[in-house]
Amino acid sequence: MFKKNLSVSKQIALRIVFFGLALSAFVFSFLIPIQIKMDRKHAIEHAHMVSDAIASVYQTIERRDQAEAMSEIMLDFVGSSEVAFVRIMGAGNRVLYSSDPSQSTRKEAYEQGEKQVGTLLYVTKRISTHDARVKAIEVVMDLKAIQSESKLFLVKLAFSFWLVILILAAMIGWMTHGIVGVRLTRLISAMGTAEKGSFLVRAKVDNMDEVGILSVAFNKLLSALTRMQVREIEWEHDLQEAHEQLSIKARLEQANQSLKRRIQAQELLMDAAHQLGAILTKESLAGRLYSLLKERLGWADFGIYLLSPENQFVLEIGCGFLDTSAYKNLRFSFGEGITGTAGQEAKPILVNNILEDDRVLFRDRPEMPKGSLLSIPMLYQGRVIGVMSFFHEKAYAFDEQDVVMLDTLGALVSISLKNAQLYEETVQLATTDPLTGLMNRRAMERLIANEIIRSNRFDTPMTLLMIDVDHFKDYNDRMGHVMGDFVLKEIASCLQESVRKVDGVARFGGEEFCVILPQTGPDSGLEVAQKLRIAVRGLKVSGASGQPLKHLSVSIGVAWYPDQLESNLIAAADRALYQAKRAGRDRVVLRT
């Protein structure tokens, strides 16, 4: 929707503007009908006031002066832009007096009350006067003139509302830029400097919010890399001395291997810092982490345990021997096993030989490596959110440097997991209807587009059901909005439980739902629609017997692709739904 290179502050400002425009359109769609009703009511009240005024004046006029006086009085009232003309009606439907001379003495049928013809509102009121000829006063109001003032008011109100939205968006965008944008720019600049090989740079930490925590984690990473770089230099120096003093090939080879491991560790952390930050799903994180460990270290047996709401560490990501059904949903309590102990103490725990440590659970299983185990607590904002456990087939495979390296890697994985969690929550909010938990309209339209692509690829049909709850407004007005919401959720659950897992159920808006049936033709689609209609009809909710049909019911419109064009599929199903409602509701209609 927005360009990818827009700053956060601009994106927020634009979203506020779009939301304000949508909100104003929604509000004014309600205000305009209300204003029209108020204008009509005002016109009727004005007409009655004019009628009463003319009747009162008429009582005071002598009969011999009536013709001239009534003409002057009615011309005075017609002087208002809201009054089109006034007529005094006599016996036999004859017009006795009129502000429009062409209508005098004409015969015009009239009846007590109000009648609208085009933009003219006829308000007729019977009166009794000393003149037996006078039967009624008819005041004709010009609704167009009345509504023009209301339209001008609504236009001014809309302009003021949009102006406030623009000012609010600008202020929030400016504040976001000052609070987040500037600090992120500084952090990105520091990352760019570090990427070029300068690990002495540090990100500025203003306070400990999300950006501050990210900056602290980045600084810790740079500190670890700096220490490793210093140790690498020191080791190179020691290696050179050993080579010069001893000239022993075995020692030199050992030193080279150690240096290689250090370089691999440094490359691993650099690659992890660059790659893990852009990952937004747990599945992608598992694959990327497996590739990094396998490529840089030559092994990749590890598990990521996340802390559940029940305060247990549950295996969420398993690679190597942990990626089997035997370890699915493996969990540890605080203090249980090496994993639970690392989470409880919030510090790394190293087991050099699994067979010699009784704290290691499941060590008798044949698939578990019999070498080394290292469990690293994963911290976020100072709180344990999980544990990473690394396994190696060799005993004493991990040294102090490995602990530092994998501890740093655990910090990066913690940040990546939190980013993935935030992204998942954002996607959930953007694609889910908050009341029913179903897909919202945006997600539904995306699913329809994908299913049409699949339908074209495999030459299979797809059926779309548009569902509307019959007389829902009556139920809402009678039982209240709380019960109305409850009924919508019950119907949503009923629809979801009555279709296949591959089918999609969405809330289209208000009391309308949509069901997408992949690989389903019109005949099967009609069967499913009838099944859903009967299922909803069987729901037992309070107040359902008070409905016009004496039970809950839905009307369903059915359309299918490729019978309908992609762009016309939703509209076709909606037209079929309209036919079902016009035919009496509680029925299914196929769009032909």
CA distance 5 to 185: 13
258 versus 345: the higher-pLDDT residue is 345
**Identical fold between 210-428 and 441-590:** no
CA distance 214 to 187: 9
Whether pLDDT at 104 is above 70: no
Mean pLDDT of 417-437: 80
**Residue 587 has which token pair?**
């029925």
Report which residue type is found at 502.
V
H or E element, residue 556:
strand 554-561
CA distance 377 to 71: 96
Whether pLDDT at 532 is above 90: yes
Q: How confident is the model at residue 138 (pLDDT cuts 50, 70, 90)?
A: confident
Strands (E), 172-238: none
pLDDT at 130: 65
Q: Which DSSP string do the residues of 32-89 spell out, in sequence order? A: HHHHHHHHHHHHHHHHHHHHHHHHHHHHTS-GGGHHHHHHHHHHHHHTSTTEEEEEEE
Q: Comparing C-alpha atoms, which of 341, 298, 324 is closest to residue 351?
A: 341
CA distance 308 to 334: 11
Query: What percentage of the chain exceeds 90 in pLDDT?
Result: 24
Q: Cα 368 from chain centroid?
A: 44
Q: What is the pLDDT of residues 105-122, one digit of tens each?
A: 566 666 677 777 777 777
pLDDT at 207: 72
537 CB-near residues (< 8 Å, 6+ apart): 551, 552, 553, 554, 586
Mean pLDDT of 399-412: 81
580 versus 208: the higher-pLDDT residue is 580
pLDDT at 410: 79
CA distance 191 to 196: 9
CA distance 212 to 417: 17
* CA pseudo-torsion sign 8, 10, 15, 16: positive
Tokens 């005094």 appear where?
88
User: What DSSP designation does 547 have?
Assistant: S
Q: What is the pLDDT of residues 169-223, one digit of tens each?
A: 778 777 776 666 666 777 677 777 776 777 666 767 777 777 677 777 777 777 7
Sequence spans of domains, the chain: 1-164, 210-428, 441-590
**Residue 11 has which token pair?**
């994106």
Q: Compute the mean pLDDT over every residue in the chain, rounded to the nearest whole number.
A: 80
Whether pLDDT at 417 is above 70: yes
User: What DSSP designation does 280 have?
Assistant: -
Of 192-196, 379-383, 389-393, 491-495, where does the model show the most confidence? Answer: 491-495
Q: Other CB atoms closer than 10 Å to residue 512's CB: what's the count? A: 17
162 versus 128: the higher-pLDDT residue is 162
Least confidently predicted of 77-81, 389-393, 412-416: 77-81
* Peptide bond connecting 101 to the previous residue in cis, omega within 30 degrees of 0: no
77, 54 contact by CB (below 8 A): yes
Q: Other CB atoms closer than 10 Å to residue 394's CB: what's the count? A: 13
CA distance 201 to 222: 8
551 versus 273: the higher-pLDDT residue is 551
* 8-59 helix and 143-176 helix, angle to the nearest 10 degrees: 160
CA distance 45 to 417: 66
Least confidently predicted of 111-125, 301-315, 325-339, 450-464: 111-125
447 versus 408: the higher-pLDDT residue is 447
CA distances from 366 to 248, 321, 369, 389, 568 (A): 40, 10, 8, 18, 60
* Overall pTM > 0.75: no
Q: Which DSSP string do the residues of 466-523 spell out, in sequence order? A: EEEETTHHHHHHHH-HHHHHHHHHHHHHHHHHTS-TTSEEEEEETTEEEEEEET--HH
**Residue 125 has which token pair?**
């009121």
Q: Other CB atoms closer than 10 Å to residue 513's CB: what's the count? A: 28
H or E element, residue 187:
helix 182-195
pLDDT at 64: 46
Q: What is the pLDDT of residues 541-574, one digit of tens each?
A: 998 888 898 999 999 999 999 988 888 999 999 9
CATH of 1-164, picked from 3.40.30.20, 3.30.450.20, 3.40.50.150, 3.40.50.1000, is 3.30.450.20
188, 211 contact by CB (below 8 A): no
| DSSP-assigned beta bridge partners for residue 389 | 303, 375
Q: How confident is the model at residue 418 (pLDDT cuts 50, 70, 90)?
A: confident
Of 15-19, 132-136, 241-245, where does the model show the most confidence? Answer: 15-19
| DSSP-assigned beta bridge partners for residue 373 | 351, 391
Q: What is the pLDDT of residues 462-515, one digit of tens each?
A: 999 999 999 999 999 999 999 999 999 999 999 999 999 999 999 999 999 999
**Residue 91 has which token pair?**
């016996």
Helix or strand or coil: residue 360? coil
pLDDT at 278: 61
CATH of 441-590, picked from 1.10.260.40, 3.10.180.10, 3.30.70.270, 3.40.605.10, is 3.30.70.270
pLDDT at 572: 94
Q: What is the pLDDT of residues 38-97, one digit of tens each?
A: 877 877 777 777 777 777 766 666 554 555 555 566 556 555 667 777 777 776 677 766
570, 469 contact by CB (below 8 A): no
| DSSP-assigned beta bridge partners for residue 98 | 87
CA distance 97 to 137: 10
62, 87 contact by CB (below 8 A): no
Query: What percentage of the chain exceeds 70 in pLDDT?
Result: 79
| DSSP-assigned beta bridge partners for residue 11 | none
Note the CATH number of domain 210-428: 3.30.450.40
